[in-house]
Amino acid sequence: MEQVRLDLQFFAGEKTEKATPKKRQEARKKGQVAKSADVNTAINLIAVFLCLMMLGPYMAQHTKGMMRAVFQNYMLMDLTENNLQMLMVKISYEAGMLLVPVLIVAVAAGVLGNFLQVGVLFSTESIQPKLDKINSLQGFKRIYSIRALVELCKSLLKIGVIGGVTFAVIWSKLDGILRLPHLTVEQSVGFLGGLTLQMGLSASIALLFLALLDYFYQKFDFEKNIRMSKQDIKDEYKKSEGDPLIKSKIKQRQREMAMRRMMQEVPQADVIITNPTHFAIALKYDEDKMDAPYVVAKGVDFVAQKIKETAKANEVAMVENRPLARALYDQVEIGKAVPEEFFKAVAEILAYVYRLKKKI
């Protein structure tokens, strides 16, 4: 039996269940989401190379103008404190005009890559200092782990695929590369620039394909890491909904309080309609409170007996009417008026009770 109990505890603690929405929300607040850094890198590279392709003529013309100004004007100037400051500001401005568009595109692509994967998320949990990060034992486990081996295989695959794509582009342009010594400087620079853009875009597209595969792997790994055991789900339910034992005790206490309040109203009733053994309905007519008689207490079996005992102790009249008692118990809640269909039967009973009280 002890072994069976241990086996049950083991299986209860095994993480085989999908994470609940609450667990996913808590993980997201901590910054734990399915995300591939390669997706950001690939989108960033594609955006930058496309930007360079579109702005290439402008950048080439701007660079030529800046180089012409350097060799024709700036190099012939006397170096003074004022001139040096002016040259630095001028050259920095010209370089900024070249680099700022590319930097803006790179930042926008980085934001887009993150948004496509995780949406809007801001969490400082992942950057908070933790002692585990400088724990040598934990570091050794991270280095020599299955995840580290997977990351090594991914890196080798990326190097192989990107290197192969780049080599294929260079091989396709081999004739042009061999003719470079016979071209002018401007033609060589143009050819090499085009070749660089072609290699960059091809490698970026290949990396994007690998990044998508890596994203699906990261998503699978994330789902596996946030799995929960059956016991975890039970504990979460208890925390969110409350302990079932405590909830049952609260409901029991509420029922007892409602019973006491109901019994306090029985002595004020005008009549108790009984089954006679199973049902008891206490009715009261107060024209200032309600236009029709209303139910102040009702019960079945044990509660019905308590109502009759209380009524007897307080000399409240009891009338036996089995169909009416059953119908009122099923259709009328405590504090509600008697339906119109029962007016005649209830009125006859109340008239009978009032006549009895006058005789007494």
Mean pLDDT across 286-310 = 82
d(C-alpha 277, C-alpha 303), whole Å: 11
d(C-alpha 188, C-alpha 182), whole Å: 9
d(C-alpha 262, C-alpha 275), whole Å: 19
3-state DSSP call for residue 300? strand
Specify whether the CB–CB gap between 300 and 262 falls below 8 A: no
The kind and range of the H/E element at 308 are helix 302-313
26: nearest Cα among 229, 219, 226: 226
CB-based burial, 134-173: b 16+ in 10 Å, e otherwise: eeeeeeeeeeeeeeeeeeeebeeebeeebeebbeebeeeb
User: How distant, in Å, are the alpha carbons of 12, 21, 192, 225 from that of 16?
Assistant: 9, 16, 55, 10
CB-based burial, 84-114: b 16+ in 10 Å, e otherwise: eeebeeeeeebeeeeeebbeebbeebeeebb
* Total Cβ atoms within 10 A of residue 340: 8
Long-range pairs, 71-77, Cβ under 8 A, ≥24: none
- What letter represents residue 14's amino acid? E
Residue with the bigger pLDDT between 308 and 79: it is 308
Model pLDDT, residue 46? 92
Specify whether the CB–CB gap between 280 and 272 falls below 8 A: yes
* Beta strand ranges found along 223-357 (DSSP E): 228-229, 271-274, 279-284, 294-300, 317-320
pLDDT tens-digit map of 153-196: 888 988 999 899 999 999 998 888 888 888 888 788 888 888 98
Specify whether the CB–CB gap between 4 and 216 falls below 8 A: no
pLDDT tens-digit map of 303-354: 888 888 888 888 888 888 888 888 888 888 887 888 888 888 888 888 888 8
φ/ψ region of 320 (left if φ > 0, alpha if ψ in -120 to 50, else beta) reads beta
103 pLDDT higher than 60: yes
d(C-alpha 35, C-alpha 171), whole Å: 35
Mean pLDDT across 273-290 = 81
Model pLDDT, residue 182? 87
pLDDT tens-digit map of 27-77: 777 777 888 888 888 999 999 999 888 888 888 888 888 888 877 877 777
* Total Cβ atoms within 10 A of residue 279: 24
216 pLDDT higher than 60: yes
d(C-alpha 94, C-alpha 165), whole Å: 35
Mean pLDDT across 90-113 = 87
Looking only at the bridges linking them, the beta strands covering 317-320 and 271-274 are parallel
pLDDT tens-digit map of 106-154: 999 988 888 888 877 776 666 666 655 555 555 555 556 677 787 888 8
> Locate tokens 């585990």: which residue?
132
Strand partners, 295: 283
Model pLDDT, residue 70? 79
Residue 43 CB-density burial (10 A; 0-12 exposed, 13-18 middle, 19+ buried): buried
Predicted model pTM: 0.55
SS3 content of the chain, % helix, strand, coil (to 5): 75, 10, 20
- What letter represents residue 301's amino acid? D
Contacts of 279 (CB under 8 A, 6+ apart): 298, 299, 300, 304, 325, 326, 329
d(C-alpha 35, C-alpha 113), whole Å: 10
User: How distant, in Å, are the alpha carbons of 26, 276, 349 from that of 329?
Assistant: 48, 13, 16
